[in-house]
Structure 1
Amino acid sequence: MEENDIRVECACGQAKLTLFGAPKTTMLCACRDCQKASGTDHTALALWADEQLEFEGDTTSYATEADSGATVHRHRCARCGTPVFGTSSRLKGHRLIPLGLLGDAANDLPPKSMIFSRTKFEWDHTSDGLAQYPTYRDN
């Protein structure tokens, strides 16, 4: 492992993830699906290319169709249910890693933007000062 690599595990230690180098981006997502999955206004995510990570352990997953038409698969530890990663048909070759899984390493990866800001709750000011996109980013 290099100095910037991150090694994390779920709450019970069964699912382990090693992340190599910096993520492509970090973001908050306030789409209705992320609100339901997180139980709050948004999820906080980092995007790593598949070749930048190693995963070991077992997960259970479920798929949902997002408002955009993309299919999102959310993977959780098969034993304790900790969210471990997600995939999207819109982001082939990448995985969405919940920033909360990273522990203290998340302090070095603040979100850069909020996507699906059109459905964020008025009381949540977490994204104040971040670039806001009503749906996906423009690139």
Structure 2
Amino acid sequence: MKRKASCSCGALSIEADGPPIKVSVCHCMACQRRTGSSFGVAVFFESEATKEAGASSSYKRLGDSGKSLEFHFCPVCGATVFWKPEFRPGLTAIALGCFDDKRDLEPSQAVYEDQRHSWVLLNFTGAGYRD
């Protein structure tokens, strides 16, 4: 199954072929700042199964692991579409909200729950994803 994700204006997109490795909700402060929301949601795919289209700008930061994350966002509308985490070599994370079709992209895990807002309650089973 091929899935397409794109930014708000459509200038930057990425296509993923096959099932995701996992879908992860992140409550860390860096994801809250990056998304402007209460958390971020990453859909991880094998990098070999993804194809990028359009120009992107990037921002690289160090994670708590001491390894970098390189975020790719649209230089026109500013939406973060995908990122490459050094701590997960060979995987590309795609922002859940950027997908055209979000069916069957249920989270299988949540991380940094100690930074989760008390009013955020999530209910997911994670069925069908592998670690």
| TM band (smaller chain) | 0.7 to 0.9
Could you state the TM-score of these two structures normalised by the residue count of structure 2?
Answer: 0.87
Say whether residues 1:37 and 2:23 are aligned partners. Answer: no
CA contact (8 A) 2:24 2:108 kept: yes
Matched residues in 2 for 1:30 and 1:69: separation?
Answer: 18
Alignment-mate amino acid for residue 104 of structure 2: D
Output the amino acid matched with 2:119: W
Give 1:106's aligned residue: 102
Partner-residue secondary structure (3-state), 1:108:
coil
Please state which structure has a larger fraction of its residues in helix. 1
Provide the rounded CA distance (Å) in 2 between the counterparts of 1:111 and 1:120.
15
Q: What is the one-letter code of the residue matched to 1:120?
A: R
2:112 to 116, 128, 136: 116
- Structure 2 counterparts to residues 81-96 of structure 1, below 5 A: 81-96=78-93
What are the Cα deviations for residues 13-64 of structure 1, in whole angstroms up to 9, with x where unaligned? Answer: 2112111011100110111211111122210110011111111111111111
Amino acid aligned to 1:109: L
Whether the aligned pair in 1 keeps the contact of 2:45 and 2:92 (CA below 8 Å) is: yes
Compute the displacement of 1:70 (Å).
2.4
Out of 25, 28, 34, the position equivalent to 2:22 is: 25
Which SS does the other structure have where 1:106 is aligned?
Answer: coil
Q: Deviation string for 1:78-116 (max 9, x for gaps)? A: 22112110111101111110000013x212211111011
CA contact (8 A) 1:114 1:130 kept: no
Structure 2 portions without partners, runs of 5+: none
Q: TM-score, normalised by structure 1?
A: 0.83
Structure 1 pair 67/56, CA: closer, same or farther in 2 (3 Å)? same
Shift in Å, 1:129: 5.0
Q: CA deviation at 1:9?
A: 2.5
What code does the residue aligned with 1:40 have? Answer: S
**Residue in 2 aligned with 1:50?**
47
Q: Is the 8 A contact 2:61 2:69 kept in 1?
A: yes
C-alpha distance in 1, partners of 2:13/2:59?
19
